[in-house]
């Protein structure tokens, strides 16, 4: 499993890098536009801020254009590239041509049969837009479950995107998603639980740890006594 940052903002990528458990970055044309600099610059920056993959979504609509754009992304960030190719007839052709040389994912999957084609075309990853699918079709988690059933036994993995809550993130994984991509706020949200914070605060209020030993004279005294007794023996 990998959890990715869904953003093209360098400062967010830096925060995700420090988290240590975020394994790469996914982008799309809208996210790249928000970085307010040429996409080439952003891709180089993002690639330097993660040891893992950087997903780039092609914007061309025709076969030659998608191939050229995919190769251009690969020239910029090399082996860190994972291309996002749309789940369209032309997109599937592009995946079949490019997946031999560049890692490809198929994005914007709304029907499980599209995942089967993505796999047959050679895509390493099939991307489901979970919350969007719920809004547009009724049940994005069911889409992930159906995709997982179809992709079982293949080399194609499922990346769940468009996740709007920690619950939805957990449900997507339980339904068979292999990976998640989340905006920074959602990464922070899944790492935080009120009860975890409260439980730790309670332990710390009533107990001691290494850094508190010197500050607890009674306990130091007991320890000294124990040590003296040990030495006498
Ligand atoms: O597909 C990927 C990652 O591969 C994402 O960048 C993806 O485009 C975004 O998560 C979605 O567009 C977000 O969808 P939504 O939150 O606008 O419904």
Q: What is the pLDDT of residues 142-159, one digit of tens each?
A: 999 999 999 999 999 999
What local confidence, expressed as pLDDT, does residue 233 receive?
Answer: 38
In the structure, which protein residues have their CB atom closer than 6 angstroms to any atom of ligand 1?
A: 6, 26, 28, 55, 84, 107, 127, 129, 131-132, 159, 161-162, 181
On whether ipTM exceeds 0.85, the answer is yes
For 26-54, letters b (16+ CB in 10 Å) and e give bbbeebbeebeeebeebbebbbebbeebb
Structure-derived torsion over alpha carbons of residues 90, 96, 101, 105, reported in degrees to the nearest 10: 70
**197 has pLDDT over 50:** yes
57, 37 contact by CB (below 8 A): no
CA distance 181 to 164: 11
Give the mean model confidence (pLDDT) for residues 43-68: 98
What local confidence, expressed as pLDDT, does residue 121 receive?
Answer: 98
Q: Whose CA is nearest to atom 11 of ligand 1?
A: 162
What the block records as the tokens of 58 is 């092609």
Q: Whose CA is nearest to atom 7 of ligand 1?
A: 161
How far does the centroid of ligand 1 lie from the alpha carbon of residue 20, in Å? Answer: 22
47, 77 contact by CB (below 8 A): yes
Give the mean model confidence (pLDDT) for residues 196-213: 87
CA distance 71 to 43: 14
What local confidence, expressed as pLDDT, does residue 206 receive?
Answer: 84
Mutate to test the pocket of ligand 1, among 132, 162, 178, 182 (most ligand atoms within 8 A of CB): 162
């Amino acid at each position: 499993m990998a959890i990715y940052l869904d953003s093209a903002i360098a400062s967010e990528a830096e925060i995700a890098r420090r988290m240590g458990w975020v394994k790469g970055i996914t982008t799309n044309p809208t996210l790249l536009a928000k970085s307010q600099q040429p996409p080439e610059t952003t891709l180089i920056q993002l690639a330097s801020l993660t040891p893992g993959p950087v997903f780039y979504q092609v914007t061309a609509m025709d076969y030659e254009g998608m191939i050229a754009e995919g190769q251009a992304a690969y020239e910029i960030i090399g082996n860190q590239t994972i291309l996002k190719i749309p789940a369209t007839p032309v997109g599937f052709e592009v995946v079949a041509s490019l997946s031999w040389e560049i890692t490809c994912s198929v994005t914007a999957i709304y029907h499980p049969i599209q995942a089967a084609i993505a796999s047959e075309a050679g895509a390493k990853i099939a991307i489901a837009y979970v919350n969007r699918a719920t809004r547009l079709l009724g049940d994005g988690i069911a889409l992930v479950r159906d995709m997982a059933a179809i992709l079982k036994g293949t080399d194609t993995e499922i990346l769940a995107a468009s996740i709007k809550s920690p619950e939805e993130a957990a449900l997507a994984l339980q339904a068979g998603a292999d990976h998640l991509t989340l905006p920074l706020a959602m990464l922070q949200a899944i790492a935080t639980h009120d009860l975890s914070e409260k439980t730790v605060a309670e332990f710390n209020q009533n107990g001691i740890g290494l850094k508190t030993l010197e500050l607890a004279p009674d306990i130091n005294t007991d320890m000294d006594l124990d040590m003296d007794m040990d030495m006498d023996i």
